[in-house]
Structure 1
Amino acid sequence: MRRLTKTILLLSVCYNFTFGQEENKVFTQDQLLWYIENYHPVAQQGRLLIDQGESSIRAARGGFDPKLFANLDQKQFDEKEYYSILNSGLKIPTWYGVEFKTGFEQNRGIYLNPENKVPNGGLWYGGISVSLGQGLFIDKRRAELQKANVFASSTIAEQKVLMNELYFDAIKQYWKWVQTYNEYNVFEESVSLAVTRFEAVKNSYLLGDKPAIDTLEAKIQIQNRELSRNEYKLAYQNATLELSNYLWFVNNTPLEITNELRPPLFDEIVLSIQTSFDTLQTIVDAIPSAHPDMQLYDFKLSSLEIERKLRAEKIKPKLNLNYNFLSEPVGDNFINNFSSQNYKWGLEFSLPIFLREERGNLQLAKYKIQQTQFGQRQKQQEIKNKVLSYFNEHIALREQVEIYKDAVLNYGRLLEGEKIKFDTGESSLFLVNSRESSLIDARLKVIALVSKFNISSTGIDYASGRLF
């Protein structure tokens, strides 16, 4: 029942996909890619990568969220309140390294430290904290947000890399499926021809026109071809199962290719001849900016550059300025009691004498950038050569396909001529079988070449990162 359900699902979706043409039972490459893009688990993982990038930005922005704070410190002993110190407020960090703060202090106690003494109604304060040295142009919070933005952009390229690989693997398996199906059909037809010839030779023997040994040779030919047919049938069945690994539906339901669907026949296959030398040059020129692997290198370099700037900032001295105005609340409004004479300020300064840690970390960051740049150049050259390799294979296979198509026609003419000679008694069954075997081998060869040709055509898009 479970298998029947999966079969019905696949057939119904294929029916809708082919615009309701019930007679169209050919499962095409475009239909395969449609299933992969919409339902394959790897495709869903790719979409999760983008969601992760958005979540990383949201998390990094949390470093700039306003924060409420409150500190309460009390001591009671021997039925006496030694002290009660309350400090609460709000901090608002900003992108520019300035932090705004406002708060309220209310302290009391018989043993309260004099520096914590405030008016009976408490003390309001508000002010800013500014980094004038280290942290003026970049700090850890800003660096993390910049890196998160870079990571979010890189997830799109990572998704392209995943899907590019998945598409190409699926397309290679699709053409293996097409190839084994057409090879099986060749031997299915050859068995029928061998059976027909055996019956004709047997009748000729019974009439006294052919020797008995010809019937034995014809029978052996049937047996040999049946063995080959069974081998190719097994290869086709296994290729069908392997291709089914790429077919999924809603709720992560795996699908299976049934006998109701078939690959295109040899005569139905269209050779995708699209890439010219001019197009190839355009593809190669676009590799540094358009290939997802190169984009990932760019994003990695951007992230490393942010880290380098942060390390360089660490070499500067720390110089932090804090300023708070103070006001005693009276009645409903404490603003009227504001005075420029009531304030609290502080200055913090520090600088390591030798800066060995800071200078070492900065140099390490520069080395990482250089290593990545070397890797980027190497990767770019590898991608370029891979594209050229697929293009050269594409051109060579195009010529071989045309040559072997013509060879199949010539082998067919030789076979027909040999049959005529055999019927007139001027040839032997051995020569007829030999001619037919040569034709079968040529047909198998051209089927394999057509499969390789279409893979090489797709390989150009795959190597250049344009398949997805």
Structure 2
Amino acid sequence: MSLSHGHSTFLILLVLLSGTAHAQPTPSPAASTGGEAPLTLEEVLDSVREQHPGMAVALQGVATAEAELLSAEGGFDLSLKAKGAYVPFSYYPREQLDAVLEQPLALGGTRLFAGYRLGQGKFPLYYGNYETLSAGEVRTGVEVPLWRNSAIDKRRADLAKARLRLDIAGFALAGEQLELQREAAYNYWEWVAAGRQLAIANAQYSLAVTRHDQLARRAAQGDIPQIEHTENERVLLERQADLVAARRKLEQTALKLSIYLRDRDGNPLVVSAARLPGGLPMPDAAFASELDSWVDKALRQRPELRDLELQRDMVQIDTAMARNQMAPVVDLGVAVAKDLGSGPDSLRPTEVQATLTIDLPFQARVGRGQVQAAAAKRAAVEAKTRLTRDKVITEVRDNLSALHAAYERVGLAKGAADVARRLAQAELARFEYGSTSLLIVNLREQAAADAELKEVKALVDYHRAVVDLLAATAALQPRPTPTPEEGRP
């Protein structure tokens, strides 16, 4: 079979999620004949997204990251600091109160402040600046870093990293969802295949049962040797055992599927055989996109690669902070103060004060060490990124190769099953004319059943290859990952 070229990703998703589209014409005996709709893969994937405990665990990671972001935003909270002193027994009895409101800003590391100070009583000369007029002193001002902490400081770095961690948690959630959906899709197709295998086993058993009474009458009439009836009895027992095994297989796959298919309360839901689709979907054609388009999609969308991009951004923040620590402190401050009330005239004028703070880190070993550590982290992230990219590309190549091979195998297996069925029918006709034995007929029928089972296996492998390719390109989960709330500072 050759691959056609012209299908889009939308058609690919449609083939995957349709569940019963292009189904085999032979319905399963276990399929619903009543009003229950067949279970689709889309329904299972929706259940994983909405009800699976694994998603709840991953969501807690997002909730934790949101809490850490809120904590980092607290670095810019308005704060009130106050201190009071009452000295009733001293050569200098006095009362003091000092309160200040501080508001850090993200703009250039600026800090705004406004305060109130009250100093009453007697003060020694060296504490004369504590004295105020009777109503106290009000003041306001601003401090601006001109060098260190100007481009970045701890508050802004913590906030930026918290936002990145929230994005990382979102991609971790997407990765967990992708893996769970891959497992769910695997189990769904195994369940559908088990239903088809049960139908094949049931058809073989029913054929032996119908033939058993006919052969008993013919043997009694002397048309055929008694050994032919005995041979059919042997086959009947074998096929009955196969039917029991196939029924057990269907029950087992339904139980495994229940881990991913859940009810509204989140409890595992063991799906009834009545909801089996009519058969495994037959592929019309293989996926048409070229390898490069699949690789590009995977490199754009895979959560682990997006995660590494964010980790690289976090390392850049660490690097900027380390270089910031090596820079000298040069802070400029401007404040205005005014005393109110009665008291000495020397305290009445408005006071304007400008300050300049300089701190030179001559050795700067703290900053240099942090720069080296950040460089090592960056090298590690870059190496891990290269390795992950190589793995993703190899995975996409392998999955696309598996898909092409599975597509060809489906055609070959279907052709082999058709030939085996025709041989079985022809052998049965020869037996009716006495030209062969029932042993040969049974061998032909068993060969036809084996060929049908191989066709089912080829179809399962094909649909698993579809799931693998879509998972490798992160196209299996249509819902977007959580993003930080808009409007945060």
What range is the shorter-chain TM-score in?
Answer: 0.7 to 0.9
- 1:272–1:454 Cα contact (<8 Å) kept: no
SS at match of 2:388: helix
Q: What does residue 6 of structure 2 align with?
A: none
Q: 1:209 to 1:22 in 2, by over 3 A?
A: closer
Answer yes or no: is 1:371 the counterpart of 2:399. no
Q: What does residue 14 of structure 1 align with?
A: none
- 1:273–1:457 Cα contact (<8 Å) kept: no
Q: Which runs of 5+ in 2 are unaligned?
A: 1-32, 343-347, 478-489
Q: What does residue 409 of structure 1 align with?
A: 418
Q: How far off its partner does 1:218 sit?
A: 1.0
Q: How far off its partner does 1:386 sit?
A: 0.6
Q: How far off its partner does 1:424 sit?
A: 1.2
SS at match of 1:467: coil
Answer yes or no: is 1:85 the counterpart of 2:96. yes
Cα distance between partner residues in 2 of 1:373 and 1:381: 12
Q: How far off its partner does 1:288 sit?
A: 2.9
Q: How far off its partner does 1:289 sit?
A: 2.6
Q: How far off its partner does 1:274 sit?
A: 5.5
CA deviation digits over 1:424-462, x for unaligned, max 9? 111011111111111111111110110110110121110
2:336 to 325, 330, 344: 325
Answer yes or no: is 1:262 the counterpart of 2:275. yes
1:246 to 250, 260, 267: 260
1:300 to 311, 314, 320: 311
Cα distance between partner residues in 2 of 1:125 and 1:65: 20
How do 1:67-82 residues align onto structure 2 when only pairs under 5 Å count? Answer: 67-77=79-89, 82=93
Q: How far off its partner does 1:373 sit?
A: 0.8
- 1:412–1:439 Cα contact (<8 Å) kept: yes
Q: What does residue 382 of structure 1 align with?
A: 391
Determine which structure has the larger helix proportion and give its number.
1
Q: What does residue 458 of structure 1 align with?
A: 467
How do 1:185-204 residues align onto structure 2 when only pairs under 5 Å count? Answer: 185-204=199-218
Aligned AA (1:438) = A
**TM-score w.r.t. length of structure 2:** 0.84
Cα distance between partner residues in 2 of 1:257 and 1:303: 46
The aligned length equals 437
Answer yes or no: is 1:155 the counterpart of 2:164. no
Query: Which moved further from structure 2: 374-383 or 118-127?
Result: 118-127
Answer yes or no: is 1:42 the counterpart of 2:42. no
Answer yes or no: is 1:225 the counterpart of 2:239. yes
Q: How far off its partner does 1:338 sit?
A: 6.2
- 2:194–2:249 Cα contact (<8 Å) kept: yes
- 1:182–1:447 Cα contact (<8 Å) kept: yes
CA deviation digits over 1:357-394, x for unaligned, max 9? 22111111011011101101110110111111111111
Asked which structure has the greater RCO (Cα within 8 Å, sep 6+), the reply is 2
- 2:133–2:341 Cα contact (<8 Å) kept: no
Q: 1:220 to 1:81 in 2, by over 3 A?
A: farther
Cα distance between partner residues in 2 of 1:214 and 1:63: 90
Answer yes or no: is 1:142 the counterpart of 2:149. no
Q: What does residue 276 of structure 1 align with?
A: 288
Q: What does residue 105 of structure 2 align with?
A: 94
Q: What does residue 222 of structure 2 align with?
A: 208
Q: What does residue 116 of structure 2 align with?
A: 104
Cα distance between partner residues in 2 of 1:159 and 1:385: 24
Aligned AA (1:464) = T
Q: How far off its partner does 1:421 sit?
A: 1.2
Cα distance between partner residues in 2 of 1:251 and 1:27: 19
SS at match of 1:248: coil
Q: Which runs of 5+ in 1 are unaligned?
A: 1-20, 332-336
Q: What does residue 394 of structure 1 align with?
A: 403
1:174 to 185, 188, 196: 188
Q: What does residue 18 of structure 1 align with?
A: none
Aligned AA (2:201) = F
Cα distance between partner residues in 2 of 1:47 and 1:253: 18
Q: How far off its partner does 1:321 sit?
A: 2.9
Q: How far off its partner does 1:53 sit?
A: 4.2
Q: 1:170 to 1:375 in 2, by over 3 A?
A: same
Aligned AA (1:69) = K
Q: CA RMSD in A?
A: 2.2
Aligned AA (1:68) = L
Cα distance between partner residues in 2 of 1:313 and 1:274: 56
Q: How far off its partner does 1:75 sit?
A: 3.0
**TM-score w.r.t. length of structure 1:** 0.88
- 1:205–1:215 Cα contact (<8 Å) kept: yes
- 1:287–1:380 Cα contact (<8 Å) kept: no
SS at match of 2:93: strand
Q: How far off its partner does 1:51 sit?
A: 4.4
Cα distance between partner residues in 1 of 2:265 and 2:45: 18
SS at match of 1:256: coil
